[in-house]
Structure 1
Amino acid sequence: MKEAYENSADVTEEWALNDYIASKRLSELGKPMWWSMAQWVDGINKLIETSDVIPFNEDYKSDPKVEKAFHSCAIINLKKSGGKSFSLSDDLSSYVDSDWDLLWEQIQEINPDLIICGATYPLIESKLGCPQKSAEWLYHAQGYHFIDFWHPSNQWPHKVKYYSLMSALKQSKELWMPKRSFVAELLE
């Protein structure tokens, strides 16, 4: 994603995104982007498990399986400091340039099966060598699959974002489907 935002009046000092997310239930995370991400991760897990797009879960904020799926994903921000409510592309590009080694190290350490770039793929594309477009929104580079997709906080309805992403991923699942079953890991 782009950068971590925290602009509540009651937060006056530095804060860590990982601590913030880990300390709250999905229903307590007030920003709709977390709800989109939870739906996406749950939908991707179900797509891997069943090879089909499951219907949008209207009760996602209170579903423990969706919450568990959400807490199984990793989030990497391009800009490591708290930001304002709007990100400038030039500013973010300078962070990608100066911090690319750290960003790439994080990707390698996490070793994800799929990387959903929340409106950040154009910012990192040149760092990936010669990415190959494999399918709709799907690129393969340096052993990883990248999705060039909307930021989870964009203003499209949750269902539109969910079904758009799931439909594209279903069409290309043979290309990016993980070799290991992390669905089983989530159920443990």
Structure 2
Amino acid sequence: MKLINDFETFQARIKAINIEIENAFVDQENEVGPIYDGALDSAKYFDNTRLKILWLMKEPYDDEREGYWSLPELFTTKYDTFFSDLIKGTSGRTWQPVVYISYGILNEFKNWDEIPFISNDPSIVKSLEKVAWVNIQKLPSETGKSTNMKNIYSAYNNHKQLIQNQIEILNPDVIICGNTFKVLKDYFGAPKEVTYDMIEYYEIGKRLVINAYHPAQLQITRERYVNNIVECVKNWSRRNERLNKNIS
């Protein structure tokens, strides 16, 4: 897909992909529609020249399982609700690590000890305005907060071109997979796997792809999870900077 160089085209592509999502992801029998995702603030994501981060996740959750709402719209027009429901609510176990990691990466690779707690400095949540969030399955989870991976594989296999196009429109520098790398193996190809502590990562062209636990994981401490990902991105970014200097 051709690189998008202007914001107007970027917005048009987002609008077009959302129409595709609306047509592709619909449960007519149960009258359930998609939950739209993507760049949480399209203007600030597009203008971010540091590192564009995309979180590639499994599926959204909706208490009533109705759908037909937009995560970016919630973030940009109903931020107080976004904060109370997703950051401080029951979804906080997922979203809070995402905030800490995104903030750390976008602020000179701060580690856990340097990042303020959300409870002490709620403004760090605003770092998400430069981040994209893409769910493979766009319909609300059929199984509540416990994902059936068969539904995720099915969603991707049925709509893989759409998902791949959405990623390419967003053109991230860093993709952080919340236990989803295995689902998109055909898209990522067969890159060389490297391990950094508890995560695996792949350098694919000019892009870093991290295969990590889901942010709500309980296998390791939140501190270790945050530091693993921030340090991995830092090391990759610094290697690229040195390489580019040597080339020039």
TM range (shorter): 0.7 to 0.9
For each residue in 1:81-103, what CA deviation from the matched residue of structure 2 results, as whole angstroms up to 9, or x when unmatched? 00122212222111111111111
Question: Counterpart in 2 of 1:145?
Answer: 208
Classify the secondary structure of the residue corresponding to 2:193: strand
- Preserved CA contact (<8 Å) 2:164 2:187: no
Query: What's the TM-score, normalizing by structure 1?
Result: 0.77
- Preserved CA contact (<8 Å) 1:4 1:80: yes
Distance 2:224 2:105 in 1: 15
Classify the secondary structure of the residue corresponding to 2:152: helix
For each residue in 1:130-184, what CA deviation from the matched residue of structure 2 results, as whole angstroms up to 9, or x when unmatched? 223355322133653211011112235432321222233334333567xxxxxxx
CA shift for structure 1 position 61: 4.4
For each residue in 1:32-73, what CA deviation from the matched residue of structure 2 results, as whole angstroms up to 9, or x when unmatched? 211111111011112xx3x66362534324536522211210
Classify the secondary structure of the residue corresponding to 2:115: coil
Question: Counterpart in 1 of 2:61?
Answer: 5
CA shift for structure 1 position 114: 0.3
Question: Counterpart in 1 of 2:79?
Answer: 24
- Preserved CA contact (<8 Å) 1:36 1:162: yes
Aligned pairs, number: 173
Question: Counterpart in 1 of 2:237?
Answer: 173
CA shift for structure 1 position 24: 2.3
Q: Which runs of 5+ in 2 are unaligned?
A: 1-56, 242-248
Distance 1:12 1:91 in 2: 17
The list of structure 1 runs, each at least 4 consecutive aligned residues, that deviate by more than 4 angstroms after superposition, is none
Distance 2:67 2:186 in 1: 35
Question: Counterpart in 1 of 2:121?
Answer: 63
Match status 1:126 vs 2:186: yes
Match status 1:159 vs 2:223: yes
- Preserved CA contact (<8 Å) 2:111 2:226: no
Distance 1:108 1:96 in 2: 15
Query: 1:114 is matched by which residue type in structure 2?
Result: V
Question: Counterpart in 1 of 2:130?
Answer: 72
- Preserved CA contact (<8 Å) 1:52 1:170: no
Classify the secondary structure of the residue corresponding to 1:161: helix
RMSD of the alignment, in Å? 2.8
Residues 1:159 and 1:54: Cα distance change in structure 2 (over 3 Å): closer
Question: Counterpart in 2 of 1:15?
Answer: 69
Choose 1 or 2 for highest CA Rg.
Answer: 2
CA shift for structure 1 position 4: 0.4
Classify the secondary structure of the residue corresponding to 1:100: helix
Of 84, 96, 102 in structure 1, the residue corresponding to residue 162 of structure 2 is: 102
Question: Counterpart in 2 of 1:112?
Answer: 172
Identity in percent: 22
Classify the secondary structure of the residue corresponding to 2:79: coil
- Preserved CA contact (<8 Å) 2:112 2:226: no
Q: Which runs of 5+ in 1 are unaligned?
A: 178-188
